[in-house]
Amino acid sequence: MSRGSQFSSQICQLCANICEACATECEKHSSHHEHCKKCGEACRRCADVCRSMAS
């Protein structure tokens, strides 16, 4: 991003998609495991930041 790559936006969007997938998987187990709940929340925050960087 700092070098102005033409792929920066695409990379950030891919990261957001990966974080969303991680959050979805973690949330499947969040009712039984506190660490999964925390992981899902962190992944959602990461996805939001990545999406904002992509735009």
Q: How far is CA 32 from the centre of its chain?
A: 22
Q: Tell me the per-residue pLDDT of 31-42, one tens digit each, with 9 for 90 and over.
A: 899 999 999 999
Specify if 3 maps to a domain.
no
Specify if 15 maps to a domain.
yes
Specify if 23 maps to a domain.
yes
Specify if 27 maps to a domain.
yes
Specify if 1 maps to a domain.
no
CA dist 52 → 18, 20, 28, 37, 38 (Å): 15, 14, 26, 23, 21
Specify if 44 maps to a domain.
yes
Residue ranges of the chain whose pLDDT lies below 50: none
Specify if 2 maps to a domain.
no
Q: What is the pTM of this model?
A: 0.86
How many domains does the chain divide into? 1
Task: Give the range of the structural domain holding residue 33, as residue numbers without chain letter.
Answer: 8-54
Specify if 17 maps to a domain.
yes
